[in-house]
Amino acid sequence: MNTVAQPVATLRLVLGDQLSTRLAVIAQADKAHDVILMAEVMAEATYVRHHVKKIAFLFSAMRHFAEALRAAGYRVLYVALNDPDNSQTLEGEILRAVAHLSPARVAVTEPGEWRLAQAFQALSLALPVPFDILPDTRFLCSHARFARWAQDRKSLRMEFFYREMRRDHGLLNEANGGPTGGKWNYDADNRKPPPRGLTAPRRLSFRKDATTRAVLDLVAKAFPEGFGTLEPFHFAVTRTQALRELDHFIAEILPRFGDFQDVMMTGEPYLYHSLLSAYLNAGLLYPLEMCRKAEAAFRAGHVPLNAAEGFIRQILGWREFIRGIYWRFMPDYADKNALAACEDLPWFYWSGETQMSCVREAIAHTREHAYSHHIQRLMITGNFALLAGLNPQQVHDWYLAVYADAYEWVELPNTLGMALHADDGLVASKPYAASGNYINRMSNFCAGCAYDPKVTTGAGACPFNALYWDFLARHRDRFAGNARMPYVYATWDRMGADRQAEIRAHAENHLHAMRAGTL
Ligand code: FAD
Ligand code: DLZ
Ligand code: SF4
């Protein structure tokens, strides 16, 4: 461990997803008397089977951040993964630094996961000095604000939360308090199917410097069994680079973000999405600056309202709402399984080896980029897991592992709530269940598939079709009363008992094939 000359007043821990100088833990640091601790540890790198690109991105961003702090005059203690004295847990590294530096107190920003929050609570009892856990002020809705909004409401709906957030932050709001353009939500103008000849825009790619190359070597050696491919690696790893990515998105891509938000295409993982979540969640970008830049581009006439509003809604609405749900309902939330789903996660989620070209494609994007866009997460891998009745906790572990932007506070409610309906409708008022017809409409995946999206039973029938009807039939008692679902149950009833039995038997065949690894 480095020797630090001056006596230490406060030891300040910065976690891998807290790379923001505006956080009080850094902004209030006394450069002469405080020490900032950052540590790469096996416990964080292995608590799920993280994608190797996710680990490399975070370690490189952490190392660059530490360098920038040093250059700005802070005293930084950085523990590398292969430091022989590394205890390989965050608690161990805090204790080691406290023993070595004898600070008067320790401070940290509240962590983004319940697991670590609990560990820090326990540690505060074991430490010989006071341990201050500071609020994470990067979010646009504090825990208290969310509690105020949620109290006494029968149901918590993102749309109403979002409107309050728009007013709170004056985003796309007019002087009379109303929404710009007269409507709060322009989703109906989005969700266009892919037009013929749609091409994806150019994306930035950042050159690997010596720090990133050293991290890539380290990760390749330390995680030989890790999920996904490490190279090519072209993530932004500093705030400056992340800001370039944000500005490129706003100028070149945002104008069509709304229109093609739900489109999926073979070989095109990104399309018109921003790719900013990994940077935002790690602290390299701030949510408000992203929203303000989108609004400014709209006001300057560069971006249509449906695109700017859609983008702002994802960040100001969904992202903050999801975080509010996580902290309000943890720890019970993690065990929710309202639909009693109990199938094991099939191996093809890791290997991509399946004949379903939509799933194969989504998993190929995931393996290569540690990314797939929202509709692939929700309507391909999530939808399949919902229809096939995969165990929510196994699905949750998968989503938490495979994406560069995944931390439990944001991943868990998206997986259990939005994709799997395991929280009984807390996050989503209706299950996001869809047949092959939807996937065929919104993508070009079906053209290259062994299955036929227009067929429900018999040889070559798309598995999503029979599984979709079987899912609805299985959960009829729960969903038949949902105001948004009578139409689908009327269609099911018109099929008659023989056809229904045939479809359900076919769904069972698909589940057999899934268990046998032949789907
Ligand atoms: P864009 O489509 O460009 O959207 C802009 C920004 O809005 C994103 O960067 C993100 O910060 C925010 N956003 C959009 N939708 C959501 C949402 N539903 N919840 C929270 N923020 C949102 N997002 C994560 O950041 N981490 C996760 O671990 C994660 N897991 C998910 C798991 C499932 C099953 C599903 C259905 C969604 C998940 N999401 C997660 C939400 C969303 O899919 C990603 O935020 C998005 O795909 C990131 O890509 P992007 O930056 O290109 O997003
Ligand atoms: C995700 C992650 C990984 C892979 N490694 C580290 C690490 O070595 N050191 C660290 O401080 N943080 C890491 N993280 C991020 C933490 O897991 C994250 O801070 C918690 O999950 C809380 O959100
Ligand atoms: Fe997916 Fe079915 Fe289309 Fe194949 S036919 S790509 S399984 S939706």
In whole angstroms, give the CA distance from residue 491 to residue 339.
22
Ligand 1 neighbourhood includes 406 CB (under 6 angstroms): yes
Q: What is the pLDDT of residue 486?
A: 85
In whole angstroms, give the CA distance from residue 348 to residue 363.
8
Cβ 20 vs Cβ 138: under 8 Å? yes
User: What is the Å distance from ligand 3's center to 357 Cα?
Assistant: 6
Identify residue 97 by its one-letter amino acid code: A
Q: Give mean pLDDT, residues 8-26.
A: 97
In whole angstroms, give the CA distance from residue 479 to residue 421.
11
pTM confidence score: 0.96
Ligand nearest to the CA of 403: 1
Q: Is the pLDDT of residue 98 over 80?
A: yes
Q: Is the pLDDT of residue 473 over 80?
A: yes
Q: Is the pLDDT of residue 4 over 70?
A: no
- Among 100-109, 261-270, 495-504, the minimum mean pLDDT is found in 261-270
Cβ 360 vs Cβ 352: under 8 Å? yes
Strands 131-134 and 105-109: parallel
Cβ 449 vs Cβ 419: under 8 Å? no
Cβ 90 vs Cβ 115: under 8 Å? no
Distances (CA, A) of 105 to 13, 20, 79, 145: 11, 21, 20, 29
- DSSP summary character for residue 172: S
Ligand nearest to the CA of 510: 3
What is the position in ligand 3's atom list of the atom closest to the CA of 462? 2
Ligand 1 neighbourhood includes 378 CB (under 6 angstroms): yes
Structure tokens given for 414 = 């998206």
pLDDT tens for each residue of 413-433: 999 999 999 999 999 999 999
Of all protein residues, the one whose alpha carbon is nearest to atom 20 of ligand 1 is 319
In whole angstroms, give the CA distance from residue 105 to residue 507.
60
Mutate to test the pocket of ligand 2, among 15, 215, 409 (most ligand atoms within 8 A of CB): 15
CA dihedral 311, 286, 322, 56 (to 10 degrees): 100
Ligand nearest to the CA of 316: 1
Mutate to test the pocket of ligand 3, among 264, 438, 439 (most ligand atoms within 8 A of CB): 439
Q: Is the pLDDT of residue 188 over 90?
A: no
pLDDT tens for each residue of 504-515: 999 999 999 999
Ligand 1 neighbourhood includes 77 CB (under 6 angstroms): no
Of all protein residues, the one whose alpha carbon is nearest to atom 8 of ligand 1 is 277
The string of DSSP letters for 98-143 reads HHHH--SEEEEEPPSSHHHHHHHHHHHHH-SS-EEEE--TTSSS-H
Quickly state the pLDDT bin for 195 (edges 50, 70, 90): confident
Cβ 465 vs Cβ 436: under 8 Å? yes
Dihedrals phi, psi of 301, to nearest 5 degrees: 85, 10
What is the position in ligand 2's atom list of the atom closest to the CA of 50? 4
Q: Give mean pLDDT, residues 396-417.
A: 98
Q: Which of 316, 204, 186, 309 is nearest to 254 (CA)?
A: 309
- DSSP summary character for residue 66: H
Report the pocket of ligand 2 as residue ranges, CB < 6 Å.
Answer: 15-17, 39-41, 44-45, 50, 55, 58, 90, 111-113, 116, 407
328 alpha-carbon distance from chain centroid: 18
Quickly state the pLDDT bin for 196 (edges 50, 70, 90): confident
Identify residue 204 by its one-letter amino acid code: L
Mutate to test the pocket of ligand 2, among 25, 58, 94, 109 (most ligand atoms within 8 A of CB): 58
Ligand nearest to the CA of 52: 2
Ligand nearest to the CA of 348: 3
> Which residue is it, tokens 């805090």?
94
Residues in the chain: 519
Q: In what order do the strands lie in the sheet with 35-39?
A: 75-79, 35-39, 10-13, 105-109, 131-134
Q: Is the pLDDT of residue 15 over 60?
A: yes
Of all protein residues, the one whose alpha carbon is nearest to atom 8 of ligand 2 is 40
- DSSP summary character for residue 254: G
Q: Which of 420, 439, 438, 435 is nearest to 358 (CA)?
A: 439
| CB-CB neighbours of 400 under 10 Å | 21
Mutate to test the pocket of ligand 3, among 357, 441, 443, 519 (most ligand atoms within 8 A of CB): 357
Q: Is the pLDDT of residue 482 over 90?
A: no
In whole angstroms, give the CA distance from residue 26 to residue 10.
11
Q: What is the pLDDT of residue 1?
A: 55
Question: What is the SS3 assignment for 437?
Answer: helix
Mean pLDDT (the chain, rounded): 95
Tell me how many degrees the CA angle 313-317-319 measures, rounded to the nearest 5. 110
CA dihedral 490, 494, 497, 500 (to 10 degrees): -70
Q: Give mean pLDDT, residues 275-281.
A: 98
> Which residue is it, tokens 């380290």?
218
Percentage of the chain surpassing pLDDT 70?
99
In whole angstroms, give the CA distance from residue 453 to residue 267.
20
Q: In 352-462, which ranges are continuous DSSP H helix?
A: 357-369, 374-376, 383-388, 392-402, 408-412, 436-442
> Which residue is it, tokens 């891509």?
253
User: What is the Å distance from ligand 3's center to 435 Cα?
Assistant: 9
Quickly state the pLDDT bin for 258 (edges 50, 70, 90): confident
Ligand 3 neighbourhood includes 255 CB (under 6 angstroms): no
Cβ 319 vs Cβ 285: under 8 Å? no
Cβ 248 vs Cβ 375: under 8 Å? no
Q: What is the pLDDT of residue 5?
A: 57
Q: What is the pLDDT of residue 348?
A: 97
pLDDT tens for each residue of 436-460: 999 999 999 999 899 999 999 999 9
Ligand nearest to the CA of 114: 2
Structure tokens given for 188 = 């109906």
Strands 75-79 and 105-109: unpaired
Mutate to test the pocket of ligand 3, among 445, 510, 518 (most ligand atoms within 8 A of CB): 445
Of all protein residues, the one whose alpha carbon is nearest to atom 29 of ligand 1 is 411
Q: Is the pLDDT of residue 470 over 80?
A: yes
Ligand 1 neighbourhood includes 51 CB (under 6 angstroms): no
Ligand 3 neighbourhood includes 464 CB (under 6 angstroms): yes
Quickly state the pLDDT bin for 3 (edges 50, 70, 90): very low
Q: Give mean pLDDT, residues 88-104.
A: 96
Q: What is the pLDDT of residue 25?
A: 97
